[in-house]
């Protein structure tokens, strides 16, 4: 499985999946046939995470092929990330507390043999070891496999979920603050308190076509207990009525300016922000760093082809900028940098999709699902 860091590759993958494999998605989506047999899933998440293509494009293309009822499961999966982001925006303290816990736990486990064996793929669990190597090699794992992996990490290897979430963020091309953090919390049993996900031998064998043997897991572990509750924040995601001709900051989550809601606006200059590892709490692997850098360079090239004034700058340079706009980076490392440096010179611009979706993220996904037809109606 190879992912090219270009918008053309993203569009090609989308078109190929919709034309040839979307029809069987709901039937085959839970099977992991291995890294070289991914036709049953779209593998678009690395591109969607970086905004190289967006949910709107993906949903529209799928609806051009099939009806909503035929497509419903696929569209739900596309909007899961949108939902997780909205959920996190309304409870951003979850991310703050995660980073605090991670810092403490990393120090406690830096010499822990069980942890070191896990991240090197040297446990006694064959499938887990293979997934560690697959993650490091391809920087991608099937969604079902991510659930198995997290469950084994937490309940069989008995390691803190925070370290597992960090490991994923370090190596996944589609690493996303909200989806990753909340997904690990869900497996542990603290996202929906008392409801955890336990991987089982029969389930792994069935959905991997019996590729693995000797799968000895703790299938009776209780959920992780947390008494921490988060008050829903009152946030408004409103854009300015008039957008002036100022510089626009673009972070790694919006790397296709030409398809954003603001593409017709005339900005003074588009500044593509490079956030290097020294500024991050979670240090990314070399593969992920290079993937992001390539996507940023490719966005610059596409903008220059359209004669749009642009430049790649280091994130530290934004401290010295005059008043400017910024495509909202969402809760995570980039927004943390802005907040921690108290940068009052930046005014955020929000996507219409997020404005129309995040207001429905105050409860669980099953409640959110009810509003998906309405959200789709508002796609322009």
Q: Give the number of C-alpha atoms closer than 13 A to the C-alpha of residue 100, restricted to the C-beta side.
A: 5
Both structure tokens of 252 = 């790694």
First and final C-alpha spacing in the chain = 33
Q: Give the rounded distance of the alpha carbon of 41 from its chain centre.
A: 16
Of all residues in the chain, the percent with pLDDT exceeding 70 is 99
Compute the average pLDDT of residues 316-326: 94
Q: What are phi and psi of 311, to 5 degrees?
A: -160, 145
Distance, in Å, from the CA atom of 146 to the CA atom of 373, rounded to the nearest integer, reads: 28
Give the predicted TM-score (pTM) of the model.
0.97
Indicate the pLDDT class of residue 380, thresholds 50, 70 and 90.
low
3-state SS string over 75-135? HHHHHHHHHHHHHHHCCCHHHHHHHHHHHHHHHHHCCCHHHHHHHCCCCCCHHHHHHHHHH
Split at pLDDT 50, 70, 90, the class of 1 is low
Res 49 pLDDT > 70: yes
Please report, for the chain, how many H helices and E strands are present, in that order. Answer: 17, 5
Which of 118, 116, 99, 190 has the alpha carbon at shortest distance from 156?
Answer: 118
Own/partner long-range contacts of 264-271 (Cβ < 8 Å, ≥24 apart):
267/325, 268/309, 269/309, 269/310, 269/311, 270/303, 270/308, 270/309, 270/310, 270/311, 271/247, 271/310, 271/311, 271/312, 271/313, 271/318, 271/321, 271/324
Taking the CA of residue 219 as centre, how many other CA atoms within 13 Å lie in the half-sphere pointing to its CB?
9
Spell 32-60 as b/e; 16+ CB within 10 A means b. Answer: bbebeebebbbbbbbbbbbbbbbbbbbbe
pLDDT score of 213? 87
Please state the rounded mean pLDDT for residues 149-165.
Answer: 98
Q: Average the pLDDT over 149-155 and give the result.
A: 98
- Residue among 359, 362, 80 nearest 236 (CA): 359
Confidence of residue 344 (pLDDT cuts 50, 70, 90): confident
- pLDDT tens digit string along 178-200? 999 999 999 999 999 999 999 99
Exposure on the CB side of residue 50, measured as CA atoms within 13 A:
28
Q: What is the pLDDT of residues 242-292, one digit of tens each?
A: 999 999 999 999 999 999 999 999 999 999 999 999 999 999 999 999 999
Let me know the angle formed at the C-alpha of 182 by 238 and 132, rounded to the nearest 5 degrees: 130
Higher pLDDT, 93 or 343: 93
Residue 320 and residue 206 in contact, taking contact as beta carbons nearer than 8 Å: no
pLDDT score for 227: 86
d(CA 49, CA 277): 18
Domains delineated in the chain: 7-89+358-377 (1.25.40.80), 93-207 (1.10.579.10), 247-349 (3.40.50.620)
pLDDT band at 2 (very low <50, low <70, confident <90, very high): confident
Alpha-carbon gap, residue 378 to 55, rounded angstroms: 13
């Amino acid at each position: 499985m190879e992912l090219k860091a270009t918008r053309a590759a993203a569009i090609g993958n989308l078109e190929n999946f919709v034309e040839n494999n979307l029809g069987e998605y709901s039937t085959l989506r839970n099977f992991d046939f291995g890294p070289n047999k991914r036709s049953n899933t779209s593998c678009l998440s690395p591109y969607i995470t970086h905004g190289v293509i967006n949910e709107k494009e993906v949903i529209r293309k799928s609806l051009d092929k099939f009806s909503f009822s035929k497509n419903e499961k696929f569209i739900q999966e596309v909007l899961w990330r949108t939902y997780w982001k909205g959920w996190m925006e309304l409870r951003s303290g979850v991310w703050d507390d995660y980073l605090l816990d991670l810092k403490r736990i990393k120090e406690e486990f830096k010499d822990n043999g069980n942890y070191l064996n896990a991240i090197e793929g040297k446990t006694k669990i064959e499938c887990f070891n293979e997934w560690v190597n697959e993650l490091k090699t391809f920087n991608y794992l099937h969604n079902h496999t991510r659930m198995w992996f997290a469950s084994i990490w937490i309940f069989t290897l008995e390691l803190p979920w925070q370290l597992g979430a960090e490991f994923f963020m370090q190596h996944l091309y589609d690493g996303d603050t909200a989806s990753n953090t909340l997904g690990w919390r869900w497996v542990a049993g603290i996202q929906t308190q008392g409801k955890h996900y336990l991987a089982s031998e029969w389930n792994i064998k069935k959905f991997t076509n019996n590729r693995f043997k000797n799968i000895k897991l703790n299938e009776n572990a209780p959920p992780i207990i947390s008494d921490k509750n988060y008050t829903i924040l009152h946030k408004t995601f409103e854009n300015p009525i008039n957008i002036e001709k100022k510089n626009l900051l673009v972070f790694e989550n919006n790397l296709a300016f030409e398809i954003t809601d603001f593409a017709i606006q005339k900005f003074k200059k588009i500044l593509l922000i490079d956030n290097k590892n020294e500024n991050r709490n979670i240090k990314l692997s070399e593969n992920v760093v290079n993937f992001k850098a390539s996507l940023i360079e490719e966005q610059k090239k596409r903008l220059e082809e359209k004669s749009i004034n642009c430049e790649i700058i280091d994130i530290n340079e934004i401290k010295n900028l005059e008043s400017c706009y910024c495509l909202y980076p969402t809760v995570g490392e980039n927004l943390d940098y802005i907040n921690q440096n108290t940068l009052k010179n930046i005014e955020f611009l929000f996507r219409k999709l997020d404005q129309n979706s995040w207001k429905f993220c105050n409860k669980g996904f099953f409640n959110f699902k009810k509003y998906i037809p309405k959200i789709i109606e508002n796609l322009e």
